[in-house]
Amino acid sequence: MMWVLRALCPMAVLPILMPAPAAAQASYDAAARIFRLDGGDVTYAFKVNATGILQSVYWGRRLPDRAPLAAPELSGLSGFDVAANVVPQEYAGQGGGLYAEPALKVTYADGNRDLVLYYRSHEVRGDEVRVTLSDLDRPLFVTLTYRIDRSTGVIARSAVIENRGATDVRVDQAAAAGYTLPVAYDYRLHYSTGRWAAEWTLQDRALTAGSTVLESRRGSTGSQNNPWFTITRGDTTEENGPAWIGALAWSGSWRMTFDQDVTGRIRVTGGYNPFDFAYRLRPGARLETPTFFTGFSDRGRGGASRLFHRFQREHVLPHHGGDLPPLRKVLYNSWEATEFKVDEAGQLALAERAAKLGVERFVMDDGWFGQRNSDKAGLGDWTVNPAKFPRGLTPLIDRVKALGMDFGLWVEPEMINADSDLYRAHPDWVMGFKERPRTEGRNQLVLNLARTDVRDHVLAVLDKLVSENDIAFLKWDYNRNWSEPGWPDADVADQQTIYVAYVRNLYWIIDELRKRHPGLEIESCSGGGGRVDLGIMARTDQVWPSDNTDPFDRMLIQDGFTQAYAPAAMMAWVTDSPNWVNRRQTTLSFRFLSAMQGGLGIGTNLNKWGDTEMATARYYVASYKRVRETVQRGDLYRLNRANAADQRWTNLYVAADRSQAALFTLVGSTNKLDVMPTINLRGLDPDAQYRIEAMDGTALPATVPARASGAYWMNHGVDVTLRGDFQGMGMILTRVR
């Protein structure tokens, strides 16, 4: 089963900062019937209650080994709220009078829709617990898997539902897991909302009686909500107090619900979205859910983010044989410069200039294939356009490589334009209902990847492209959501399994492609940040958070993104000013300081840059290369997060071994003669000496000493006052031996 994305190896990649973790353990106390998982600074416990129901006991800061973990036996509150609603169930079946959110809801062929899941057996091995439940009298089995990561305490939970009966069962709703937080009335839910070019808008709301639903009904992850949350208490701050964080590893329609139940507990349930969902389980068949990852930190939202970032670096993002994911190369992308007007000469001219800046990867975006002169045609025809590249791609790739860069190419393999040879040959490969119109988005239709012939075709095309050309990187785009999600060739009772089969086949294609081309790196892009989740991140090396490349909007976008996801995967480009999205004008320095906080890319029209811009850019690219390991593999401290009144961000990245820190402070606007607040750094070695310098090579203000101890930088802090609109400063602190 896909519970974790990469094998959970014992930690040890960051030996200096992290104390050796206490041995992780999963255990079962047979007398109390309590399961306990410990990892990092986290304990998670649940029990089999007196009636045989699996009940949540504890999820929070690590408890002493022999701490009493007794949990009360709960019964109904009144005739209106029977036990099913009062017992915080680990995995609730829809039945037995449950009104709270179920984890699993089924319908039997005879019409029975009552499901009550009882504990049957378990297995405890290493860091993992498996518990098997089944219905009170029907042979429907659910195996829950819990695994805890020994260094971060991140828990991975998923479920496998199995029909061991003789007749079909329809699964109407299936979650990966349910989590419970104790009774309290000051919980807050943090999550993100968005839309194209405006992803990752942070929301913060009280969790009170009633439900909050985060979801995508779109067939893919979506940016309207991202499958991530953090829950805090009223007194939690950025760096202190409890924070529970979670994310689903699924790139299809998903749902998370947050309910305060009748007792005041918070129940979190997440998995497949029940919207339009129906999954027939024939006798003997199984359905595996996505994995729901969760973490806990008592170091506030910052601590929870850092924990998740580290987990993603160590266990989610592809490692390509190393201890950690390879560092992101500085890339150039042609999209904003040329859009669909690509040809060999134009791309070569851009490549020559990109190489002069220190760019390491040249990516040709949309427009190189089929009859792709606009977004109206060509998708599906993944052969080089002979008018634009009469000699094929090889001469361009060879020159790019001679210039010291590797070559990347844009593809959008799941999509098709009606005006394409592929559509003319296979109109039936498209998702839709028979004899019904199909809604187009960006003039394109979605290929039904759930079909094995379509799946195999997509793999074959990509395999050929990568085999025949020296391609190091694919930017894998996906520019619309589903509509009319029909699969007319399948049996009617199986048609809605498209929600599962499509995504599983997508994962299969990427996995197979990577297996055949082990060095190949991939970016997940969905018109920006429409497909960012732990499922796709396990298979792709980087993600594109937004098509919005305005550096000021980006600070908000990146702040939202990094609440859950690692800067190691977050690409950010320097593009033209004024920016195409909002016409905002910014300096080149400001654009670099914003984009250097993830994987740096340049997406501007380099032909328009004069010597001054080229020299500035070359300097920043060199500075970025000095700090990128710290940015991508270090700890991110959000020292000052922007709000409406104070458009100022100060982000600090501290290297795993504390030998370096990269400090970025940016403002949207300054007023009067206001002096900016002192910046108190975090995470440095208090006893070590650190030298400080500006990233652009200019002198720092006289208020900043050239060198001081970690304790000085953290306690006295750095005083830098910026003046004007869209100003920023980057600083590098280097530990002096």
Binding site for ligand DGJ (CB under 6 A): 335, 365-366, 410, 477, 479, 525, 527-528, 544, 547
660-667/727-736 β-pairing: antiparallel
For residue 48, list its beta bridge partners.
54
Minimum gap (Å) between residue 196 Cβ and ligand DGJ = 9
What is the distance between the alpha carbons of residues 355 and 406, in angstroms, rounded to a whole number?
A: 11
What is the distance between the alpha carbons of residues 310 and 633, in angstroms, rounded to a whole number?
A: 8
Minimum gap (Å) between residue 573 Cβ and ligand DGJ = 9
Minimum gap (Å) between residue 278 Cβ and ligand DGJ = 32
Q: Which residues of 20-56 are buried (b: 16+ CB within 10 A; e: fewer)?
A: ebeebebebeeebbbbbbbbbbbbbbbbbbeeebbbb
What is the distance between the alpha carbons of residues 431 and 412, in angstroms, rounded to a whole number?
A: 16
Q: Choose among 154, 306, 150, 190: nearest CA to 682.
A: 306
Q: For CA atoms 712, 716, 722, 725, give the dihedral sign.
A: positive
The answer to whether residue 477 is catalytic is yes
Task: Out of 38, 365, 366, 547, pick the active-site residue.
Answer: 547
CA distances from 380 to 15, 234, 421, 643 (A): 47, 51, 7, 44
Minimum gap (Å) between residue 335 Cβ and ligand DGJ = 4
Minimum gap (Å) between residue 410 Cβ and ligand DGJ = 5
CB-wise, 128 or 547, nearer to ligand DGJ? 547
SS3 at position 59: strand
* 293 and 254 Cβ atoms separated by less than 8 Å: no
Task: Out of 38, 365, 477, 541, pick the active-site residue.
Answer: 477
For residue 230, list its beta bridge partners.
190, 245
Minimum gap (Å) between residue 415 Cβ and ligand DGJ = 10
CB-wise, 91 or 544, nearer to ligand DGJ? 544
* 84 and 101 Cβ atoms separated by less than 8 Å: no
The answer to whether residue 186 is catalytic is no
Q: Which residues of 567-578 are buried (b: 16+ CB within 10 A; e: fewer)?
A: bbbbbbbbbebe
Type of residue found at 439: T
Task: Give the nearest residue (CB) to ligand DGJ.
Answer: 366
CB-wise, 573 or 653, nearer to ligand DGJ? 573
CB-wise, 375 or 512, nearer to ligand DGJ? 375
Minimum gap (Å) between residue 543 Cβ and ligand DGJ = 11
CB-wise, 409 or 430, nearer to ligand DGJ? 409
Residue 430 is classified by DSSP as B
CB-wise, 381 or 477, nearer to ligand DGJ? 477
CB-wise, 499 or 544, nearer to ligand DGJ? 544
Show which residues are catalytic.
477, 547
